[in-house]
Amino acid sequence: MFKNRFVFLAFLLGAMFFAIPASAQDDKEPVTINLDGATGSIGIQRELQTTAEIELVVGDQIYRLSVPVTVQIDASAVLTDARLAAPVTQQIGMILFEPTGIERIEGEYDKDYTTVTPGSGNVIVVYRADVTNLDDTVLESGYTSNLDAIAIDEVGNTYEVEDRLCDNINPGEKISCEFVFDVPATANLIDLEIKTFARKQFSFAGLDTGE
């Protein structure tokens, strides 16, 4: 009798395992594919390791289990259906940065409750760009470790950003940002260096634990 109950329980667990879809997320690095003249379609074959959360009710007991699963992807997609297309040169870590303009202001910068007054003999230079968040979490652009900017003039001098207008960016969202600099009037700014966080996963599997 006990053996029969065990077999029934095992069968029920197996049935639920296959009936409940797994929410899979690839923990590996993204697949980078370089195609000249992005037309046509592309086929993707990939194996993902993830877990499926299942709930099993036996009598008056509830069992919640995390079951390791393997998801195999074998699909194709038309490149013209891509949600995003941008030059590789615009990608920095988990963002896309697209320069849209630069403005030199002789006087005070005042916009959206942000005011920057130039120092003696200085001018205001504003870099404008569109920033797209490629990550799956919100980019809090107010932190310099997440998004920092350094202006560079034609002779290689660098200048720290004085202020910025750049809201938090949701995953997949693109917003317009402004980076404000207070620099000497003789400086001819031409470039902008962007620093942002980047993430890479490293596997320690199989390494000596030192025990």
Question: Can you read off the two tokens belonging to residue 204?
Answer: 């320690």
pTM comes to 0.61
* Residues in Cβ contact with 2 at an 8 Å cutoff, skipping those fewer than 6 apart: none
175 vs 52, which has greater pLDDT? 175
* Residues in Cβ contact with 68 at an 8 Å cutoff, skipping those fewer than 6 apart: 49, 50, 51
Give the mean model confidence (pLDDT) for residues 1-13.
Answer: 43
Question: Can you read off the two tokens belonging to residue 2?
Answer: 């006990």
- As annotated, the residues of the chain forming the CATH 2.60.40.1240 domain(s) are 88-196
**Cα gap 66→51, rounded to integer Å:** 6
- Backbone angle region of 39, left / alpha / beta, with phi > 0 → left and psi within -120 to 50 → alpha: beta
Query: Would the pLDDT of 178 be above 50?
Result: yes
The per-residue pLDDT for 7 is 39
Pick from 126, 105, 114, 117: nearest CA to 185: 105
Q: Do the strands 158-160 and 109-111 form a parallel or antiparallel pair, or are they unpaired?
A: unpaired
Report residue 198: phi and psi, to 5°.
-135, 150
CB 15 within 8 A of CB 7: no
The per-residue pLDDT for 109 is 94
Q: Residue 192 corresponds to which amino acid?
A: L
The per-residue pLDDT for 20 is 38
Quick: pLDDT tens for 62-117. 888 888 888 887 777 777 776 777 788 888 888 889 999 999 998 999 998 889 99
**Cα gap 167→142, rounded to integer Å:** 7
Average pLDDT over the chain reads 78
What's the DSSP call for residue 187?
-
Q: Please state, as a whole number, how many other Cβ atoms lie within 10 Å of the Cβ of residue 45.
A: 10
The per-residue pLDDT for 168 is 92
The per-residue pLDDT for 110 is 93
Q: Which fold has domain 88-196?
A: Immunoglobulin-like (2.60.40)
Give the mean model confidence (pLDDT) for residues 144-148.
Answer: 80
Q: Tell me which of 124-128, 182-186, 194-198 is least confident.
A: 194-198
